[in-house]
Amino acid sequence: MIFHVWNGHSHQYDAYVLPGGFSYGDYLRAGAIAATSPSLETIREATDNGKPVLGICNGFQILVEAGILPGAVLRNTGLRFVCKWTRLKIESTRTPFTKLANKGQALRIPIAHNEGRYYLDNNQLAELEKREQIVLRYVDENNIPSQDSNPNGSMDNIAGICNKEGNVMGLMPHPERASIPILTPDNHSEGKMIFDSMIETLEGGR
């Protein structure tokens, strides 16, 4: 069962999803005000307890602003809102959201954001690589990260990352918009794998 919780403390749930949606109008910068919400105390507790936490688009920005995930999410290099389909490569299957995928598998999932350029310094990037915290990259039709396949200027074509423990994942693309065939241009549902993986994780823990 799904419950919608924001302004409150709800500790009884098995998993948490922070969706997209321009919280607080993206004033100051995307996710900055939402990161101070009382509900983030619940998310921090869930994180510390190893529960699955997923941040999608604005949800990813909130997790970064709150310091739950590393790095920063900046304005797109083109300084414009970008809404398009992207091709993603699964770089890690150690999260509750990619356990049903194969490493190297490609997914077609759309993006829709003005501030989606993931950034961190080179030392932090090396740490992410070492710990397998880079979960998704933007790639071309040959599954190769390239400048042309990078829609927003994200460092190293990064589209999604996880925390050190792997139970928290954030991504800029919208898997919910590619979760049922009617939503996609060629009747696929490749984004559904992320949610199926989470359900599999939760059912396996019961």
pLDDT in tens, 134-156: 999 999 999 999 999 999 999 99
Q: What confidence tier does 166 reach under pLDDT thresholds 50, 70, 90? A: very high
Note whether residue 8 is domain-resident: no
Note whether residue 110 is domain-resident: yes
pTM: 0.92
Note whether residue 7 is domain-resident: no
85 Cα distance to chain centroid: 15
Note whether residue 160 is domain-resident: yes
**For 155-169, what is the mean pLDDT?**
98
Note whether residue 118 is domain-resident: yes
Q: 45-72 as b/e, with b when 16 or more CB fall inside 10 Å?
A: ebbeeebbbbbbbbbbbbbbbbebbbbe
Q: What confidence tier does 21 reach under pLDDT thresholds 50, 70, 90? A: confident
> 38 lies in which domain range?
16-204
**Number of domains the chain is built from:** 1
Task: Dig out the tokens for 145 from the structure.
Answer: 């990260």
* Cβ-based neighbour number of residue 114 at 10 Å: 17
Q: What confidence tier does 1 reach under pLDDT thresholds 50, 70, 90? A: very low
Q: What is the pLDDT of residue 172?
A: 98
Note whether residue 86 is domain-resident: yes
Note whether residue 4 is domain-resident: no
Note whether residue 10 is domain-resident: no
- Residues classed as catalytic: 57, 174, 176
Return the CATH number at 33: 3.40.50.880
39-53, 143-157, 163-177, range with the lowest pLDDT: 39-53
**For 69-88, what is the mean pLDDT?**
96
pLDDT in tens, 61-72: 999 999 999 999
